Amino acid sequence: MKMPISCQNLTVAFSRIRAVNGLDLEVEPAAIYGLLGPNGAGKTTAIKAIMNIIRPTGGRSTVFGRDSRLLCAYDFERIGYVSENQELPGWMTVSYLMKYLEPFYPDWDVKRAAELLRAFDLPLHRKLSHFSRGMWMKATLASSLAYHPKLLVLDEPFSGLDPLVREELIQGILETAEECAILVSSHDLGEIETFASHIGYMEQGRLVFSEEMSSLTERFREVEVIVGQPSDVPHRSRWPARWLRPEVSPSLVRFIDTGFDLERTSAEVRDLFSGVRDISARPLPLRTIFLTMARRSREISGTAL
């Protein structure tokens, strides 16, 4: 099977600003790929270029092997797209919306559509303009899942939603995950952590890393070192560059190792620190990993200025 999404050196520039700067990204079949990054990192711009909503200024992206710039009606019959700012015809009821969309999708599943509307508890005969934001997003997702897409692209689908609605949306996403690849951009890190199989992190238009969730949580660890006295701790300049967010007290040193390996990290600690009494490490939640990378980027930018 051809790769659902593949980007090679994808670039999108607005005047002198490169919102996406040489992006290399792949979303594999059956993957649930979480695309993370601070505001302004270029996530939404990249997604719009992949979906042929805006034109790239360099490089290329493909969807199932087809150049994104050539995506046509046939391709969108296999793609579901949900954005936080997506518009729906407010004068329609959700029942009318489903009937209106059905002829555009050869694989539209009437039974599946009805199941989604029931699962999301959507009032069939209320106009979309009278929906809350949560109901609006559920209607949008239902209309994107009813035709069994092979690729589902979600741009900030959980923004501003209450926990119950987020849970309902996630359940709907997971129920379709076996039959399609999913790319989801979101700031709800706790939610992403519960279901993503892969994580990509963007900064300033570039992809800093892209890997399986299991690999990411293995290599990011908070390390604690108990020492005998403050003089046992060497100056920060001698520490490996991958040790971030240091905290030092008279007898305890804590830092985040972004490339943790038990044997290597332990050996480095004992080589650098004197009087080591104990070394421990614990895995980090995705939120802490995100904050660590964002703060590192801010520190580097501040230094550059």
Q: Contact 10/206 with Cβ under 8 angstroms?
A: no
Q: Contact 299/248 with Cβ under 8 angstroms?
A: no
Q: Structure tokens of 231?
A: 């003089």
* pTM of the complete model: 0.88
Q: Contact 74/66 with Cβ under 8 angstroms?
A: no
Q: Residues 147-199: pLDDT tens digits?
A: 999 999 999 888 777 888 888 888 888 888 788 999 999 877 888 888 999 99
State which residues of the chain have pLDDT below 70. 1, 301-305
- C-alpha distances (whole Å) from 112 to each of 122, 178, 274 are 14, 15, 64
What is the model's pLDDT at position 122?
A: 93
Biggest CA-to-CA distance, the chain: 74
Q: Distance between alpha carbon 6 and the CA centroid of its chain, in Å?
A: 16
CATH assignment of 5-215?
A: 3.40.50.300
CB neighbour burial string for 154-188, b if at least 16 within 10 angstroms, e if fewer:
bbbbbeebeeebbebbbebbeebeeebbbbbbbeb
Q: What is the CA radius of gyration of the chain?
A: 23
What is the model's pLDDT at position 244?
A: 94
Strands (E), 158-220: 181-185, 198-203, 206-212
HSE-CB at 201 with a 13 A cutoff on CA atoms is: 18
Q: How many residues does the chain have?
A: 305
